């Protein structure tokens, strides 16, 4: 880290910062310029957060981080790509994984119909919400454990592993009992209590990027999971909040490529939430694959106009089948044999 | 709500939308223009979310909400201002409430020293984090229950009611036992499981605005609390994420004024997180009061450069005292008598 | 357009709005709900802006636009894609156009070396800045007319048409004399005086999206050009400003797909400015093509670390050659014959 | 500046950077840490932009600016506040300047009526648009020179100096002939050709912040004016683009306080464009004064619902009078004597 002193900093103030840097377990390297002095805090075993607090010391203009604050998720630590095994499906292993299914599990029939169809079209995993984070308390909140059972049944029939969101620490055990991968939704990306709990679960975690999270914050949220003991983490870019209102979010595909540079973890893209518009799901799916995403998660509903959530961004069953063909996925005609 | 049909919509598509509107419990009013047809869904007892899903129906260009989706928090429902009583301190009753204290409770001494000093300077409530949401898992995470006990002791000594953050449903009972007001942090504003739990607690809630939450989303988060039975809700604007990097967040003071128009709930401002820079805390405190905020929440630390969190935005004790004088607060010299 | 009255609107206020709607040349359709009244302003020949001003009339809550405000750029007006001919290169005709070259023209040698190399690698057009919009007045501002002459020489030698930015109305004639396509930079997207001038120039215009422009504002800027008589407009998405700082801008590829839905104009993507990072130019180029962009504009420099502008996002000559191979472009070995 | 080498940087790469730093006129200070090497470029007379380009050199992770890139606008250069004299009205001298008037000059009568009224209410300067930057080419574009004449007449009658926007280099002379202060609109903040031209005009300039401009970019735009010879620059915060849609822009009042720290130039706030909503103009005016703004610029129209632009955010004449009373301004009853 670098402590950038003010032009007006006195010799005493500079001395004080040097002392504090040493106290915190670093070496201090002073570079005196014509205009100002900067002081490098060098070493790997010091207490970084205490150096950051020096921003509040007299004579200090700024404290600048030089190295990344994340460790276990970093590609510097581990150069080969992590492959996460979700009940037999490899995420990050080179193949593009397609996760499809309804936003919410609304009924046994709705889910089974969707599961059979997306399987036939070539999907490799099933999604469906049992617990739904809804902006309004008056909207459909999900069927809970009943939905988990329907998901299990659909998985047993189709062979597709299940991913579903867990919103509450209290539900982690229930969800972990049924799901093959547990999703942390975008609004919970920095629900650190939930992350700490999920770090102890023996199931892979799908960690969505928060709508206002920087790439750095997102990777640090993943760091909570790895630091807590769960190394099976899949990231998912799902769009960020910007001033643009023509789309629901702005899908930040450069972040997908950037995260693959910075981290060894696999990264998916969610073109459904990322755009909010059915007509853009196809183009952005292709773009996400082209940019290097390890997979897609796509909302599919038998009758989007009657969906209890996210209808406008859901593909219908033939729409998903067409998209899979365009993506070069061979439809699987014999579901049983899959 | 209004369903805006595409120019190319067929008579059958228009008919279908009319049928669905009626099915959902609304009356349908059709306005046929030269270019396009729009259909109003009129009535107060229909199922709104099903009309929204019509965005996915054939021939539909858009579905536009006309009225606000929140109810209990709305000033239309209740025109007089809600006054929240926090252990005797009235929030929203006309006086400007000043909540001050350290970002994190770091030790008994640090907290007591701060509490005595801010009390003497005129603060009306004490803040201090026991459970800390930290971007990195390697940063100080708070002292937990021990910190809650220190807070109680400081409150007992100074007479200042306590507000502290609760991050996890699992901690709600512990926190509610000690705190006079429970804070939902910005990153948990849409942690709906936590909100539902807090709706059942017999203590006031301080609900911070999420860094990417619109005013509407913020009010809907408050609606979760009121709909669940807790009407003692205080809102707090603490800055939103924007492209500007010179400040930590962009404190949206217009949102304070707007929320006071839309809702009857009291609203505070947090100039510490809102700016991230000590030198801006004073000017933005004055601006927040001028715009009509019901109070301020300000971070104060005996030695900001040694703070375990948020040092750069913390005032030191004399700095807080000066600010209070500028705000026209008479310092309370006899702490015991207060 | 729809005028949404307040719940508290009086009969007189409603009547007044109806009168004004008629006065402005529209028919008024009144839909009275249980909670509020909405009034549709129907017709195609009324004065829209006067209806918008009704937002300021007593009893009015909001005025909502139903149809798009742009006309000539709209796909509703013209369903087939516009193909813009830039000195023989067709933009929008199905082939992906690759425009490459340095950010700034720095010298005759630098430009000719780059032009020959990108031509050999398969580029179809040459870019290079003669007039540079620089954030700081102390940075290199471009070689001006001298650079235009070098561009012309490079074009004559390689056969590549030239695109270069014009920043000032005063330079339009000079630039139009040399360039095959004139670029409006992102910061000038709403420089309406410049747009009006360019609308009268008999050369194609490349209109970059402003860093804070919505898709709607961008298309309305293009509308200035078409309304003024210049129909040869090529749009270019180059990234928007968001809270993310790991990349220079956030390249909004969904906007590319959306604009192709809304408009008949061709759309390019600029992965260089869109990311600001050389390592992301390749992945985002592929993504842009996958999403349906009609072409790319890429910064290439013989020695990026000595570039007078935008070095960090510039590919070097072998880097561009590699990318072109990855994109499936056959390098052109015999430059003369091209 | 600091060049942050990659962990993997070789000795040769480090050597190369050191050589380049010296070549660019700086001294190189090398700090070798356990994990990585950083190299400070020290000195005040080197070529900064060439150091920035080193970001593209092999082995370099990042180049970090330590000092501010602006000079003449900086408070480091000049610690006392600049006072700009606009035809006798001092901006920045301690008094709060109130500029009021219509968004657009629509007619002689509309302007004179407004001018007389705002003068009587206590305004100190008159605003009014002659050339209007409009998002759509189909909206009212202003009366041009005719409006300038009306402004002059209103100024002569009321004694209020005039500020009006200039959109085009071609109009600078005309506008400078009539106006007492020339406004650069938000969308032209980085129209560097216009800035260069205005740097040579012997009239004060009001420079609005661009909707996506950082504080740094804004100050660098002002630097263009000072570097070109015009030191009479007044800044104006008018709201930035964010994800919030309930207000037209997000008025960034912290930026006002921050700019007053960083620069000696006076700063105004525009609560009309900053919020887009008439009801918020009053509260945000008070907040802007409280935060330390040197003045306000407020849109006022005799009949906002018939305004040709910006009606929803315009105060009517009695509304402005009330606000001025609330701000503690004594209305001026005898206009002639003022």
Helix ranges, chain C (H): 11-23, 48-53, 108-121, 145-158, 172-178, 192-198, 215-227, 253-262, 271-275, 278-291, 317-326
Q: For residue C272, what pLDDT band results from cuts at 50, 70 and 90?
A: very high
Chain C nearest-CA distance from A279, in A, is: 8
SS3 for C39? strand
pLDDT value of position B36: 85
pLDDT value of position B50: 86
Pair of tokens at residue C241: 């400003």
| C336 pLDDT above the threshold of 50 | no
The kind and range of the H/E element at B335 are none
A7 touches B at CB < 8 Å: no
Whether D240 sits inside 8 A of B244 (CB atoms) is: yes
Residues 96-115 of A with CB under 8 A from B: none
pLDDT value of position B335: 37
Whether A241 sits inside 8 A of B308 (CB atoms) is: no
8 A C-beta contact, residue C89 and residue C124: yes
Among B38, B44, B243, whose Cβ lies nearest the Cβ of C40? B38
Chain D nearest-CA distance from B77, in A, is: 20
Q: For residue B303, what pLDDT band results from cuts at 50, 70 and 90?
A: very high
A-chain residues near C290 (CB < 8 A): 283, 286-287, 289-290
Chain C contact partners (≥3 CB pairs within 8 A): A, B, D
Pair of tokens at residue C300: 């290439």
Beta bridge partners of B89: B86
pLDDT value of position D224: 97
Residues 189-228 of D with CB under 8 A from A: none
| Substitution target from A43, A243, A244, A276 for chain D, most D beta carbons within 10 A | A243
pLDDT, mean of residues D40-54 = 85
| DSSP β-ladder status, D162-165 and B233-237 | unpaired
Query: Can you give C87-153 as a three-state secondary structure string?
Result: CCEEECCCCCEEEEECCECCCHHHHHHHHHHHHHHCCCEEECECCCCCCCCCCCCCCCHHHHHHHHH
Name the closest residue on chain D to residue A45, using Cα atoms.
D34
- Provide DSSP, A137-171: TTS----THHHHHHHHHHHHHH---EEEE---GGG
D-chain residues near B212 (CB < 8 A): 243
A-chain residues near D29 (CB < 8 A): 31
| A42 pLDDT above the threshold of 90 | no
D34 touches B at CB < 8 Å: no
Provide, rounded to the nearest whole percent, the portion of chain D with pLDDT above 70.
97
Please report the number of interchain residue pairs, chain C to chain D, with beta-carbon separation below 8 angstroms: 140
DSSP annotation of C38: E
Q: For residue A330, what pLDDT band results from cuts at 50, 70 and 90?
A: low
Strand runs labelled E in chain D: 2-5, 27-32, 37-42, 60-64, 84-86, 89-91, 97-101, 125-127, 162-165, 181-184, 205-208, 233-237, 267-269, 295-299
Name the closest residue on chain D to residue A4, using Cα atoms.
D66
| Substitution target from B1, B9, B31 for chain C, most C beta carbons within 10 A | B31
Beta bridge partners of C173: none
pLDDT value of position B330: 61
Whether D240 sits inside 8 A of B245 (CB atoms) is: no
A-chain residues near C258 (CB < 8 A): 246-247, 277, 280
D-chain residues near A38 (CB < 8 A): 2, 40, 66
Name the closest residue on chain B to residue C45, using Cα atoms.
B34
| B337 pLDDT above the threshold of 50 | no
**Alpha-carbon dihedral sign for residues B13, B17, B22, B23:** positive
Residues ≥6 apart with Cβ < 8 Å to D16: D57, D58, D59
Chain D contact partners (≥3 CB pairs within 8 A): A, B, C
A79 touches D at CB < 8 Å: no
pLDDT value of position A96: 96
What average pLDDT is seen over chain D?
93
8 A C-beta contact, residue C291 and residue C250: no
pLDDT value of position B66: 81
Helix ranges, B33-180 (H): 48-53, 108-121, 145-158, 172-178
Chain A nearest-CA distance from B29, in A, is: 20
pLDDT, mean of residues D218-231 = 97
Whether B283 sits inside 8 A of D257 (CB atoms) is: yes
Chain D nearest-CA distance from A278, in A, is: 22
| Substitution target from B65, B240, B254 for chain D, most D beta carbons within 10 A | B254
pLDDT, mean of residues B292-319 = 95
Burial classification of residue A331, based on how many CB atoms lie within 10 Å of its CB (0-12 exposed, 13-18 middle, 19 or more buried) = exposed
Name the closest residue on chain D to residue C59, using Cα atoms.
D305
pLDDT value of position D330: 61
| B315 pLDDT above the threshold of 60 | yes
Pick the CATH number of D84-326 from 3.60.150.10, 3.40.50.720, 3.40.50.300, 3.20.20.70: 3.20.20.70
Whether A274 sits inside 8 A of C284 (CB atoms) is: no
Q: For residue D195, what pLDDT band results from cuts at 50, 70 and 90?
A: very high
Quick: pLDDT tens for B111-165. Answer: 999 999 999 999 999 999 999 999 999 888 999 999 999 999 999 999 999 999 9
Name the closest residue on chain B to residue A279, using Cα atoms.
B56
| A43 pLDDT above the threshold of 90 | no
C7 touches A at CB < 8 Å: no
pLDDT, mean of residues A316-323 = 97
Q: For residue D163, what pLDDT band results from cuts at 50, 70 and 90?
A: very high
Name the closest residue on chain C to residue A272, using Cα atoms.
C254
Residues 225-254 of A with CB under 8 A from B: 227-228, 241
Name the closest residue on chain B to residue D276, using Cα atoms.
B254
Pair of tokens at residue C27: 């028919």
pLDDT, mean of residues D160-178 = 97
Please report the number of interchain residue pairs, chain A to chain B, with beta-carbon separation below 8 angstroms: 140
**Alpha-carbon dihedral sign for residues A321, A324, A328, A329:** negative
- Provide DSSP, A289-315: HHHT-SEEEEEB-SSGGG-SS-GGG-B
Quick: pLDDT tens for B184-225. Answer: 999 999 999 999 999 999 999 999 999 999 999 999 999 999
Whether C291 sits inside 8 A of A284 (CB atoms) is: yes
Please state the domain extents for chain C.
2-64, 84-326
Q: Which of B212, C191, C49 is nearest to D210 (CA)?
A: C191
pLDDT value of position D332: 52
pLDDT, mean of residues C141-146 = 95
Which residue did the predictor score with more confidence, B41 or D238?
Answer: D238
Neighbours of C171 (CB within 10 A): 19
Chain A contact partners (≥3 CB pairs within 8 A): B, C, D
Q: For residue B43, what pLDDT band results from cuts at 50, 70 and 90?
A: confident
pLDDT value of position A337: 36
pLDDT value of position C333: 47
User: Tokens 């889910």 — which residue?
Assistant: A111
Same fold, D2-64 and D84-326: no
Whether B258 sits inside 8 A of D280 (CB atoms) is: yes
A338 touches D at CB < 8 Å: no
Which residue did the predictor score with more confidence, C316 or A332?
Answer: C316
pLDDT, mean of residues D284-292 = 98
pLDDT, mean of residues B228-241 = 98
B-chain residues near D242 (CB < 8 A): 240, 242, 250, 252
Whether A44 sits inside 8 A of D35 (CB atoms) is: yes
B32 touches A at CB < 8 Å: no
Name the closest residue on chain A to residue B215, using Cα atoms.
A135
Which architecture does CATH list for C2-64? 2-Layer Sandwich (3.30)
8 A C-beta contact, residue D36 and residue D29: no
Whether C67 sits inside 8 A of B36 (CB atoms) is: yes
pLDDT, mean of residues D266-281 = 97
What average pLDDT is seen over chain B?
93
A-chain residues near C253 (CB < 8 A): 251, 253, 283-284, 287
DSSP annotation of A55: G
D65 touches B at CB < 8 Å: no
Whether A32 sits inside 8 A of D43 (CB atoms) is: no
Q: For residue A338, what pLDDT band results from cuts at 50, 70 and 90?
A: very low
Whether A244 sits inside 8 A of C289 (CB atoms) is: no
């Amino acid at each position: 880290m670098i402590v950038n002193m003010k032009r007006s900093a006195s010799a005493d103030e500079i001395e004080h910062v040097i002392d504090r840097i040493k106290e915190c377990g670093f070496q201090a390297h002073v570079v005196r310029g014509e205009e100002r002095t900067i002081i490098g805090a060098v070493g790997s075993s010091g207490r970084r957060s205490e150096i950051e607090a020096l921003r509040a010391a007299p004579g200090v203009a700024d404290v600048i981080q030089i190295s990344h604050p994340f460790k276990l998720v970093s590609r510097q630590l581990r150069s080969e790509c992590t492959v996460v095994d979700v009940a037999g499906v490899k995420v990050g292993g080179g193949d593009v994984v397609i996760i499809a299914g309804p936003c919410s599990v609304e009924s046994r029939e709705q889910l089974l119909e969707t599961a059979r169809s997306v399987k036939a079209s070539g999907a490799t995993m099933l999604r469906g919400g049992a617990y739904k984070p809804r902006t309004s308390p008056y909207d459909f909140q999900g069927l809970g454990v009943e939905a988990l059972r329907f998901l299990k049944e659909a998985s047993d029939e189709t062979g597709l592993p299940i991913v579903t969101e867990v919103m509450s620490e209290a539900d982690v055990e229930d969800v972990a009992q049924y799901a093959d991968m547990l999703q942390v939704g975008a609004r919970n990306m920095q629900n650190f209590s939930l992350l700490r709990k999920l770090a102890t679960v023996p199931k892979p975690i799908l960690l969505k990027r928060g709508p206002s999270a920087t790439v750095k914050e997102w990777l640090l949220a993943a760091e909570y999971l790895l630091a807590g003991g769960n190394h099976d983490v899949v990231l998912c870019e799902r769009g960020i909040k910007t001033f643009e209102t023509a789309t629901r979010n702005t899908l930040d595909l450069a972040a997908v490529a950037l995260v693959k540079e910075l981290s060894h973890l696999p990264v998916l893209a969610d073109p459904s939430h990322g755009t909010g518009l059915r007509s853009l799901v196809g183009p952005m799916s292709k773009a996400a694959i082209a940019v290097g995403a390890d997979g897609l998660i796509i909302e599919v509903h038998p009758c989007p106009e009657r969906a209890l959530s996210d209808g406008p961004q859901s593909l219908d069953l033939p729409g998903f089948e067409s998209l899979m063909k365009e993506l070069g996925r061979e439809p699987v005609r014999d579901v049983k044999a899959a």
